[in-house]
Structure 1
Amino acid sequence: RHFIVQATICGSKKTRDDVTSQKITLQLLHLITFCLLANISDSYDDLLFAIILLCYFYECY
């Protein structure tokens, strides 16, 4: 794991006693679906968020 992620997790507090579970990995199909939904909504905010999400996705991979 990346050291920044570990430092963030170690520095944070849990608010509930629930067991932590790993989320589903963001995949290209999720991004395509999100972009299609953002395009249908006719909201520039949704489209901008989709573009930012895509930029971060491709920056990480």
Structure 2
Amino acid sequence: MEQQSHSLPHPATGPSGGMGATPSEHTCLSLGARLDEQARTAWLQLKQLHVRHRGAFA
């Protein structure tokens, strides 16, 4: 008897294997604010931080 492999899609992919929905505007703004705070407190050598969102990646 053959054993079938049932794998679940990666959390970032949809049921068809493609990428899921793009992050909401709120998520993008929240991520930008968190990164700005991190830059001010931990990455003092940075003068400017530019956050770019590409598709489902942030």
- Normalised-by-shorter TM-score class: 0.3 to 0.5
Structure having the higher Rg: 2
TM-score, normalisation: structure 2: 0.38
Question: More helix by proportion, 1 or 2?
Answer: 1
State the TM-score, normalizing by the size of structure 1: 0.37
